[in-house]
Structure 1
């Protein structure tokens, strides 16, 4: 979209912003009166951060309505105004290659179309010795649920087969037995919330209908690049559940009422059982917790307890360092992701990291690196997060690692969003990715 087309869009019309700008001018008069004074904010379709005492107001809602109408996810704005009322508004609209960040600056820049962080690409390890738990008993499960839910409407074999076809995976016998008793459709309860509650109590979860079943692959567990890239997949030898973001063998069938998913696990860990029931927490990005060795156990309240084991644990694949000494102690061949924070100490050299075979993610806060160009020696990086000055040094030296899949500009909260957007666009341009739209809208609010 060129600049002329942008100006015709209603989000770029001064009239769209005028009510909000008038409020901002009144409540931020001292800040705007200082030479170079600016007011910064961000509005999305679901929330906003603007420097107003009354955050919920018609001026903000007017912009939100336009975002929805124009199918724009978010806009960051920078307002400048003169005493005469002449006002300049810088608008920054992220492209599909830019994730939303915290504060007013962009989040991760996805440099390769549809790229996923390594933990989200990780497939489950085979467990050739895994078998179903001895407690798995589809017939007992079916009798138990029928006794608790007399008169429940069950799914037909054709409906179960259709679900298997849609998912591309056969349903375990216990899960099929459960759905033969109840198809868990809201229509069967005739809008009776108490009946729905009794149903959840009987099956020990908010059971999805067959149409609601899904395979909890990593892509179903949304996580921003800047967090996901710093995670690591770990499965200890004594683990019942593999420490994955998701798996083609996790069939999500219900909710615990708090947003956590229950799933049947067909790709268990070294000490797990095929068909065990796991809990996928909405508060965690990696891994799942064992609930029961089988669906039968879950229905009969025979919950499992995972043993922590006393086996020695290898060095952590993710680490944190704040000086040269702690950086040296973090270095080992299995290191995958490293966060650097100088904490007011001396900047560190990246020399100890050169040659590490698995290092793929580095997040260094501004001022942490003694020589940012040393990043060029870390040839295995797929994610890099640096401050504006560090990125500037890499760009000037033509030393940006070419293997990156994503990057982020890590700056202070009060850093100029326009400058950061310009730097982000330089990085996006190196990969030919759609850039952040930067436009200036001008108008007159009249004397204060």
Structure 2
């Protein structure tokens, strides 16, 4: 049954708002399917959109120009303005258009319990427990009570070197440093204080002098954040969609200099390498690390940090770490296992007591039984490409799952049998791109209802487009 709740603003609910977009999609379908009714789907957000439109190629020798897609831009902007007015970030839609132009448009969303799909009108992850986070994002560092500073840490040498390199820099006052500590709720380490006593790294202090900025970069070894830009790089500073975050696993082998974490209350981010990767002072090092070592958080990774230097002094003096630890033979296999045509060839090969994440991808052979992973104590994530499971009801025996992604048929089997694991915190439906979004949304609402979560709103609009010629 369609929920007739309305989205917040009347402009979104006005068929005229959507007419230009639907007209473009209908014209595209006319070229492909000149006869009969058509179905068009899409997704429009405030800053992006996904529509099945074939864009016109520019003349030979000329790059694409805005005017080549002006009609599409104008049509989408009309919807985006309505979204902004309504305070809605993104809406998916599905429209059935008859040959006489009669159109039934269904707007799908939003729901506070559903992440938007990525470039698809299908819903993203379903958040079944309000505020739930994947296990790696809940993990805190082990105490590093016995950790000591590196022998190379030398506050006086650091400060003297920086003053020689930056004789005209304006340093932070003790009051400014104290204010930063109060804001962060942490006492800054001595080396970091020494650095900011030399330069407070404010762009205003440079007077738009880009050469001075470059000298500062070379003097410190990174683009330094000013005191107001300092932040604690805990797990909340690395937000991640559930379907990606659930696939991560973090671990700290005994030989590690850096703890395996998404973020830490002991990582104080103070700089950038110029490519979007953040540098942080690490006050919660791994078993073989130093307190106050410098680590880098890659913007291309959701978790983990890499050792850069044993101390801030080493960073400034260019004494960078070149050691790269590799998994030694005989250690435990990875906590994340992928079974597909290009990786492991069986679930049995993936099974071991430390397994946390099992991803069964595209497979062109016989489907798999989940018996080999039944009873594993740490298995918390299972994703299975449609058609890869012998019996989806075996999932009921995986009692520690917090995230489950399945194809529609496997979800149907679980729902009909009342066997959806109640341990789940989030879930996802692996719909293929050509799947009609309406039954996928209906199934998502069934799953959400099991946890009493807000449904995906469906708003139905009737209208007329130009009839097919």
Band the TM-score falls in, shorter-chain normalisation: over 0.9
Which of 74, 92, 96 matches 1:58?
Answer: 74
Asked if 2 retains the 8 angstrom alpha-carbon contact of 1:240 and 1:306, the reply is: no
Evaluate the alpha carbon distance shift between residue 34 and residue 201 of structure 1 in structure 2; reply closer, same or farther with a 3 A threshold.
Answer: farther
Asked if 2 retains the 8 angstrom alpha-carbon contact of 1:31 and 1:39, the reply is: no
Deviates more, 1:321-330 or 1:101-110: 321-330
Correspondence for 1:218: 235
- The answer to whether the aligner puts 1:198 opposite 2:215 as a matched pair is yes
Which of 419, 436, 443 matches 1:423?
Answer: 443
- The answer to whether the aligner puts 1:329 opposite 2:329 as a matched pair is no
CA deviation digits over 1:247-275, x for unaligned, max 9? Answer: 11100001111110000001111111100
Correspondence for 2:159: 142
Q: Secondary structure at the match of 2:142?
A: coil
Correspondence for 2:271: 254
Correspondence for 1:114: 131
Asked if 2 retains the 8 angstrom alpha-carbon contact of 1:228 and 1:285, the reply is: yes
Q: Displacement of 1:338 after TM fit? A: 0.2
For residues 322 and 446 of structure 1, what CA distance do their matches in structure 2 show? 47
Evaluate the alpha carbon distance shift between residue 325 and residue 305 of structure 1 in structure 2; reply closer, same or farther with a 3 A threshold.
Answer: closer
- The answer to whether the aligner puts 1:359 opposite 2:379 as a matched pair is yes
Pairing of 1:73-88 with structure 2 (within 5 A): 73-88=89-104
Q: Which runs of 5+ in 1 are unaligned?
A: none
Deviates more, 1:73-82 or 1:33-42: 33-42
Correspondence for 2:194: 177
Correspondence for 2:411: 391
Provide the aligned length of Structure 1 versus Structure 2. Answer: 447
| CA-based RMSD | 1.9
Which of 313, 319, 328 matches 2:331?
Answer: 313
For residues 376 and 332 of structure 2, what CA distance do their matches in structure 1 show? 16
Correspondence for 2:396: 376
For residues 398 and 358 of structure 1, what CA distance do their matches in structure 2 show? 24
Which of 159, 184, 192 matches 1:167?
Answer: 184
Q: Displacement of 1:46 after TM fit? A: 1.2
Evaluate the alpha carbon distance shift between residue 266 and residue 34 of structure 1 in structure 2; reply closer, same or farther with a 3 A threshold.
Answer: farther
Q: Displacement of 1:3 after TM fit? A: 3.1
- The answer to whether the aligner puts 1:283 opposite 2:300 as a matched pair is yes
Correspondence for 1:433: 453
For residues 50 and 309 of structure 2, what CA distance do their matches in structure 1 show? 43
- The answer to whether the aligner puts 1:11 opposite 2:12 as a matched pair is yes
Moved over 6 A (4+): none
Under a length normalisation based on structure 2, what TM-score does the superposition of the two structures give?
0.91
For residues 4 and 96 of structure 2, what CA distance do their matches in structure 1 show? 20
